[in-house]
Amino acid sequence: MNTPLRIDVTLGQHSYPLHIGPGLLKHTALWRSYLRGVHVLLVSDTNVAPLYAQRLYAGLDGLSWSELTLPAGEPSKTLANVRQVYEALSALGANRDACVIALGGGVIGDLSGFAAASWMRGIDFLPLPTTLLAMVDASVGGKTGVNLPAGKNLVGAFHQPRGVVIDTDTLATLPEREYLAGLAEVVKYGAIFAADFMDWLAIHSHALQERDPQVLAETIARSCRYKAAIVAQDPTEQGQRALLNFGHSFAHALETTTGYGHLLHGEAVAIGMLQAARLSTRLGWARIEDEQQLGKLLAALHLPLEPPPGLNAETLLQHMRLDKKNQGGHLRLILWHGVGQAEMVTDVAETDILAILG
C-alpha cells in the first residue's frame, strides 16, 4: 500500500492528523493506533454498516467492543439517537479511555461525536468518513452536534477527534446525489478563500463528475488543507472560522423549513451560497460577474441553484434569527466581496434579506 497522505491539524496538545488514501479501512494498524483503551463503540448507519463495518472487525479483535447501527439520513441527527449511543456505551461498560468510532457521513460523525464529547465529560472520538462531504468538511475540526425541530445543529460541542482516517475507496458506493452534495462544500473553500481553486474546479468539473481518482484525490487534499488551516487558526470559531459558514445561514433555514432530509445539506449549501452572493451583489459589495461565476460552477456540478418553490420568506428569516452566529439580537451573515473574499457582516437590513429570500 502507498503511504497515505497526511495533513496535520495543529492545535497544540490537541493536534491530530488526517490520513487520506485508498484502502485505509483495511489498514488496521493505522486506525487502531488511535485506540487507547479496551472499550470501543462502532457507530454507523443502515447504508454504510452493511458495506464497510466488516472491514473493521479484524482490527477490533481482542478489544471489548460493540456496534450501533442507526437509520441512515439527516432525520437521524437527534438527541434521541445520542441517547442510544449513551445506552450502547453504558451496556459496554465504557469508561474514560473508551473510543467512539464513527463510520459514515456527517450525520453519524456529528451525532456520535457529540455523544463522545459528553459521555463521562468527554472520551476519544475517531471518525472514519465515508461521504465526500464528511471527508472534506464534517470530520475535520471537532464540530459535533444534533438538530432540534427549531433548527439545525442547535445542540452541540467542540470536541476534536484523535485522528481522522479517510478511505477514499468508500466513495465508489456513494450515491450520485450525495456525492454531488459533497462538492458544494468543496466549492465553498474556493468561494471564501481561493479564487484559483474555483478556477481549478471549473476546469476539472467534468473529471469531478466522473469521480476521476486523481482529480478527486487532489480535491480532497486541497479541501482538507484549507479546513485544517482555518481550524488551527480558530478552533472554536471566535473569528475567521465563521467564514466556513458562507451560505449556511440561508442553508440551515432552508433545511429546517423544508424538513430535515428533504434537501441534502450540501444542496442547501449550494443554494445558500448563491443567495449570499446575490445579497452581496444587491448591497454593492460584489460584482454580478462573481455571483454568475459561482452559479455557473454549481450548475456545472449539477447542484441546485434555487430553493424549492412556495417557501415563505418570513418563515425562513425567522429561522435565520436563531442562527448561532447572531449576537446581541443582530443577524450576522457571511457575505463576499467577490470570489475568494468572504467576510462576516453584521446589520444587514432584514428588508434586503427578505428580498433575496422572496
**Which uninterrupted H or E stretch holds 100?**
strand 99-104
Restricting to residues 123-142, which ones interact with ligand GLY according to CB under 6 A? 137, 141
Residue 147 Cβ vs ligand NAD, minimum distance, rounded to whole Å: 7
Q: Minimum Å distance from CB 242 to ligand GLY?
A: 8
* Residue 213: contacted member of ligand NAD, ligand GLY, none (CB under 5 to 8 Å, by partner type): none
Spell out the alpha helix ranges (H) of the chain: 28-32, 48, 54-57, 79-92, 106-118, 132-133, 176-193, 195-203, 205-209, 213-233, 248-258, 265-282, 288-300, 313-320, 350-357
Which residue, 227 or 332, has its beta carbon nearer to ligand NAD?
227
Instruction: Sketch the per residue contact string, 87 through 126, with ligand GLY: x for CB under 6 A, - otherwise.
Output: ----------------------------------------
Look at residues 175, 203, 202, 178 and name the one whose alpha carbon lies nearest to residue 191. 202
Residue closer to ligand NAD, measured from CB, 19 or 77: 77
Which residue type is seen at 143?
A: K
- For ligand NAD, the binding residues (CB under 6 A) are 45, 47-48, 51, 72-74, 77, 104-108, 110, 130-131, 133-134, 137-138, 141, 143, 153, 170, 173-175, 178, 181, 265-266
The distance of closest approach from Cβ of residue 113 to ligand GLY in the complex, given in angstroms and rounded to an integer, is 12
How far is the CA of 323 from the CAs of 117, 247, 307, in angstroms? Answer: 22, 12, 19
- Residue 241 binds which of ligand GLY, ligand NAD, none (CB < 5-8 A, kind-dependent): ligand GLY
Q: What is the 3-state secondary structure (H, E, C) of 57-69?
A: HHHHCCCEEEEEE
Name the minimum Å distance from CB 127 to ligand GLY.
Answer: 13
Grid cell 479517510 in the structure block, residue: 166
Question: One-letter amino acid identity for 283?
Answer: L
- Considering only 27, 241, 252, 319, the residue that binds ligand GLY (CB under 6 A) is 241
The CB-nearest residue to ligand GLY is 244
Residues pairing with 17 in the sheet: 8
Report the nearest approach of ligand NAD to the CB of residue 307 (Å): 17
Q: Are 120 and 96 in contact (CB under 8 A)?
A: yes
Torsion angle of the four alpha carbons 347, 308, 339, 21, in this order, in degrees rounded to the nearest 10: 120
Site residues, ligand GLY (CB under 6 A)? 137, 141, 143, 241, 244
